[in-house]
Structure 1
Amino acid sequence: MKIIISGSLGNIGKPLTHQLVAAGHEVTVISSSADKKEAIEKAGAKAAIGSVSDAAFLAETFAGTAAVFAMTPPNLGGSNVISNTVEAGKAFAGAIQEAAVKRVVMLSSIGADLPDGTGPIKGLYQIEGLYDQLENTAVTFLRAGFFFTNLYNDVPMIKGAGIMGANYPADAKMPLVHPEDIATAAAEELQKETTGKNIRYIVSDVRTPGEIAKAIGTAIEETDLPWVEFTDEQSLQGMTQAGLPEEIAGLYTEMGTGLRSGKIAADFVNGNFPVDGKIKLEDFAKEFAGKF
């Protein structure tokens, strides 16, 4: 089966490519960087170099394909983030329709059921709406939890201040996921025969920030590592001082308020969806310690 993967050979694309190539599929990986061509080909796939915002490039790449893993880059462009992300989603949707692709797995997120108040997730809500209108295309919205790997952003805070923290409390419920578990779920869905529009949550563990700080602290031998809840103002200021553009820092602050209120996780937590990822917090903590 011919399968297209967007997202280059990133934390999801790389293991997904390996799984699908090993299963005998003809895999093409989209990357915006020509420097990735050699690595993609070494992985046993074909490289398609171009922009995911270029509908003509996507339509040409999708021609004759059976299935597409659609992933829009986070923080696309650094400014006008939501509109840029949605424009990329429109390019994907148009190319899928033009190429008559029958099977799509779209990487989405917890909170994508909400139209606003979710920071960068707002763009995924709008893209789900675009894909929902695709005719004769079976779509699975793969709503992922909070990436474990985002916790690497806390390394400077741990080393500089001896804390972890954000603008949500230590007892907030957080559905978490490892990119490798996302890749496994995506591979399953791409090879599955289905119809219509479907939602699948992919979550590896559900824990609290307090538990996250404790597990990571234990793994890096800082057993008293605390989780500190910041105000929204402190969170925004900290991210901008660390070099994030103000717009992106604002979006992440808004996402934090959504996690604090519980609304971003609510659909997953209240819906009794399975936690079917294999990599748990303690597993990731060991991975974190190895790179700390």
Structure 2
Amino acid sequence: MFTIIGATGHVGGAAAANLLDGGAPVRVVLRRPASADDWAARGAQVAIADLADTAALTEALRGSSGAFVMLPTDPSGGDALHRGLAASIATAVGASGVPHVVLLSSIGADLPDGTGPVRWLHVLERALGETDAVVTAIRSWHFQEKVEEILPAVLGEGAFPVFGESADVPTPMIATVDIGAAVADELRSGAARSEIVDLDGPIHTEREVAGVLGGLLGRELTVVPIPQAGWVESMTGAGVPERLAGELAALYGAGERGLLQARGDRSRRCVTPIEVTLRRVLQKASAEVAGS
């Protein structure tokens, strides 16, 4: 039995679907029962547990041969909340006896601070390493789906904002369906020792992404680099809570300074083209508008 935390998210959902499609027994852990029937209809067991409820999470993990864990970012939560969630997850892993855990981490999680929300993944990596479980930490670069965060500006104003001094910095960008496949493969393999796996993928600049997205939309997008001094104000103006905007600004700043580097034990290549992912993002957005 493989247990998946965060099945309603991009990566957790992709991992659970991959395992189910391959005939593996899967238990999904949901915070709320809203999507429980959908997962049950697909053949998954369903457990309801909040990540802060260590006892419930322990029971949800118990009996698993492997589990996928991730640490969501609470937009209104601060440092203490996220460190508390990391502690709860690690405690539940240790108490449940699950032998192998695959963690969704991030490039930059090797650094203890200066990386905004990624520093909490550093905390979780360390905490999981103190349990008896074998830990496979998957560190990914940018998600290709991150364009969802700026889609309102793209669709409403034809603008493609870039949080950086330049829109021409080549960066690996990875589709979450590929990350989910990596999670599923690692769970099925049952690692013998703890490792950090860096995900590599197609390399693009933000300007190139804007060009592909504009082509799919049939319009030219205006690429708007935003200087560092305007990052927080731009994000809060778009509705991002001020605390989260500050954390994201710290992460973007780490990227600008070249602090985010692949430093894992091995790497895995991901291949989904950016155009495929952007087409999915636009289809999803269109379906949501039609259903509203």
How high is the TM-score relative to the length of structure 2? 0.90
1:168-197 C-alpha deviation (Å, 9 max, x unpaired): 121223221111111100000001132222
Q: Is the 8 A contact 2:197 2:267 kept in 1?
A: no
Q: Is the 8 A contact 1:17 1:43 kept in 2?
A: no
Which piece of structure 1 moves more, 165-174 or 189-198? 165-174
1:77-115 C-alpha deviation (Å, 9 max, x unpaired): 6121x3322211211111111122111000101111122
Structure-1 residue corresponding to 2:42: 43
Inter-partner Cα distance in structure 1 for 2:248 and 2:72: 15
Q: Say if 2:250 is the partner of 1:254.
A: yes
Inter-partner Cα distance in structure 1 for 2:257 and 2:169: 8
Inter-partner Cα distance in structure 2 for 1:287 and 1:58: 32
Inter-partner Cα distance in structure 2 for 1:107 and 1:218: 32
- Shift, 1:259, TM fit: 1.9
Structure-2 residue corresponding to 1:67: 66
1:141-179 C-alpha deviation (Å, 9 max, x unpaired): 011221111201212222344221232121223221111
Structure-2 residue corresponding to 1:219: 216
Inter-partner Cα distance in structure 2 for 1:261 and 1:242: 25
Q: Which 5+ residue runs of structure 2 have no aligned equivalent? A: 287-292
Amino acid at match of 2:246: G
Of 266, 269, 274 in structure 2, the residue corresponding to residue 276 of structure 1 is: 269
**SS of structure 2 residue aligned to 1:115:** coil
1:237-290 C-alpha deviation (Å, 9 max, x unpaired): 1111222110001111111112222222x236xx89656212122222333443
Percent of residue pairs bearing the same amino acid type: 26
Q: Which 5+ residue runs of structure 1 have no aligned equivalent? A: none
**SS of structure 1 residue aligned to 2:113:** coil
Q: Is the 8 A contact 2:196 2:265 kept in 1?
A: no
Q: Say if 2:151 is the partner of 1:155.
A: yes
Q: Say if 2:56 is the partner of 1:57.
A: yes
Inter-partner Cα distance in structure 2 for 1:288 and 1:222: 16
Provide the alpha-carbon RMSD of the alignment.
2.0
Q: Say if 2:4 is the partner of 1:5.
A: yes
Report how many aligned residue pairs link the two structures. 284
Which piece of structure 1 moves more, 104-113 or 229-238? 229-238
Of 175, 178, 192 in structure 2, the residue corresponding to residue 181 of structure 1 is: 178
Q: Is the 8 A contact 1:77 1:84 kept in 2?
A: no
Q: Is the 8 A contact 1:118 1:258 kept in 2?
A: yes
Which piece of structure 1 moves more, 112-121 or 153-162? 153-162
**SS of structure 2 residue aligned to 1:73:** coil
